[in-house]
Each structure stands twice: as C-alpha cells, then as structure tokens.
Amino acid sequence: MQDKLQQIKTEALLALKSVKDKIQLEELEIKLLGRKGGQLTELLKGLKDLSEDAKREVGQLANEIKKDIESALAKKKTEFVQQEMAGLLEKENLDITQPSLPPKVLGHLHPNTIIQNDLEDLFTSMGFMVLDGPELESEYYNFSALNIPADHPARDMQDTFYIKGHSDWVMRTHTSPMQVRAMQKYGTPLRMIVPGKCFRNEATDVRHEHTFYQLEGVVVDKDISFAHMKGVLESVFKHIFGPETKIRLRPKFYPFVEPGVNGEVTCYLCKGKGCRLCKQTGWLEVFGAGMIHPNVLKEGDIDPNIYQGFAFGFGLTRLAMLKYGIEDIRLLESGNMKFLEQF
C-alpha cells in the first residue's frame, strides 16, 4: 500500500507538469482527490482492513502524500490566476493603481437652497442681516401686527392653516410676521431679510403648493424713501436675472404698506418682447413691496414720526421655478430624485 501511495504521488506530480489550464487542473484534482472514485480516496478506503500499527504508519504517510499533492495543485492554481490577471491587464489596459471614480450621486443642494444662499450672500454684502422665524406663528404676528384686523377681508386672501385647539396659532402664511418681531427685538436702524417656509391651504396644481418659500426684507432708518426701495429691488433682480433687467412698480394694496406696489421685472426669456412665459406682456410679476405702514412701525415700538422704512416680499420658490424653467411647483417638495439630480 505504501508503494501504491508513492506511485500515486509520482504520477500526480508528473501529470501536473502537463496540465495546461484551470479546467485540466480541476479534472486532475477530481481524478486524484475526488470523493467518489478519486485514486487517493479509493486507496485510503483500504486502510480500515489493516492492523492497528500498519493503519497508523500508512495513515501518516497517506496524509503527507495527500498534503503534498494538495499543495502542488494549489501552487499550480496560483500560477494560472496570476497568468490570467497579467493577460487581463495587458488586454484591457487596466491600471489597478488608478484612483476610483467618485460615486455617481453625491449630495447636492436643492434648487430653492441654491437661490436662497445666493440671495443671502447678496443681501449680507449690502449690510442686511439674515433672520430666521417661527413657522408656527401667532395670529397676532401673522395678521394683527401687520395691520390686518380680525374682520379684515385681507385674511381671506391667504388660505390659512389654523391649529386644532389653538385658534390663535397659525402656520405662517408669509414671512412678513418677522417684520414686527425684528423691529421689537433689534429696533432701529434695521436692515434684515428672512428667507423661509410658508404654508397655505391651497388646492394644489402646477402653480400652487401648500408649502413654499418666501424671502422678506425690511429696512427702517431715518430719511428712507421710495427711491431707496426701488434701488435695492433693482439691484436684487439685476443680480438674479441679468444686468439688462428693468423693474416696474404698480400700485397694489397690502395692509402693511402704504403706498404698496406690485413689482414686475422684464421677462428674462424674451427680454421684454412678449412670450409664453410672460403671457405676451414682457413682464413677470415677482414681488410685493411698499413703504411700511405707520401702524406696523408702531407695533414694532418704532416712532413713525422719526423713522420710515420699506418692506418687500417675494416667493423664493417662484424665483427658482423661473430661473430653472420648472413648470410644476409640486416637483420642488416631491423628493423625486430624477428631478432633483438635475441641479
């Protein structure tokens, strides 16, 4: 039996020399060590018929030979794998030292945030501070402090979400409530903007959404005039839509300003000639503004005989839609990755 074992080993090593690929190697492995019919396996089945002493002696030799054969096979296998890799590298010109490509989707900013950051930079460069305000607001700051009394029809202009069990709380319908909060907290002179989320109980469609972003601005100081207001707003919209942009102010009623205006900018798409975007008018309606009403200054503990100011508000969401040509407002809050990855 010992002779037979040695013979298997010699033949195995010889056969291994003529093996040309991984498939032949596998065949040889099965022929020698296969559980059923492997030469070595079959031979070792005879061990059980030997005496205890012989069993120990032959068993030890058999183990050594099995190990030798296994390691010779493994060595050959490694050779083949290395050859294969070298071939691949050559054929595909694969440079395994090249740094990996970045993942396809890295996080990035939401279109609303891009516009908001851009405007925060612009306004801070003009000396405005950037404030944040509560989204759950009191009825007082959202309406009464802004010269909109309880029975005033202006409250109907904004479809308000009230809070169950708290009739004096609302989800803020605009960023304007921060006007009086800022006056009370910081006094004069005041230059501030408030970008933020607002909420209205809208029947949603391509132009209406229950959640959207506005940006409010307030300037209060001595000798502030309508011309200052126009100057600031012109700079802002030239910055957003390009240096050739003009603005147009037309009277509009807002309870918290007097006089109040509806602000338009020349359509950036047709440069004022008239197109589908501006409904052939050449103008896009983008903001509301005006000189702060004396009642509002008074609510903010500011004496309207000494100080004046202007305020403005516009939809950040609307600006993002105009700037990026987004036709359905609902996409912005949808969390739809196919949409968001475009920015």
Residues that bind ligand DAH (CB under 6 A): 174, 176, 216, 254, 257, 260, 288-290, 311-313
Q: What angle do CA 27, 32, 34 make, to 5 degrees?
A: 75
Least distance in angstroms from the C-beta of 166 to ligand DAH: 22
Least distance in angstroms from the C-beta of 256 to ligand DAH: 6
Distance CA 9, CA 40 (A): 9
Whichever of 133 and 260 has its CB closer to ligand DAH, that residue is 260
Q: Report yes or no: 306 and 222 within 8 Å, Cβ to Cβ.
A: yes
Identify the residue whose tokens are 């509806």.
Answer: 262
Whichever of 241 and 312 has its CB closer to ligand DAH, that residue is 312
Tell me the two tokens of residue 87: 């071939």
Whichever of 8 and 289 has its CB closer to ligand DAH, that residue is 289
Whichever of 39 and 308 has its CB closer to ligand DAH, that residue is 308
Q: Report yes or no: 192 and 295 within 8 Å, Cβ to Cβ.
A: no
3-class DSSP state for residue 39? helix
Whichever of 65 and 286 has its CB closer to ligand DAH, that residue is 286
Distance CA 183, CA 47 (A): 100
Least distance in angstroms from the C-beta of 289 to ligand DAH: 5
Distance CA 210, CA 195 (A): 17
Least distance in angstroms from the C-beta of 112 to ligand DAH: 16
Whichever of 12 and 148 has its CB closer to ligand DAH, that residue is 148
Least distance in angstroms from the C-beta of 174 to ligand DAH: 3
Q: Give the residue among 90, 1, 97, 3 at the shortest CA–CA distance from 43.
A: 1
Identify the residue whose tokens are 């000189």.
Answer: 291
Least distance in angstroms from the C-beta of 267 to ligand DAH: 21
Beta pairing partners, 216: 194, 313
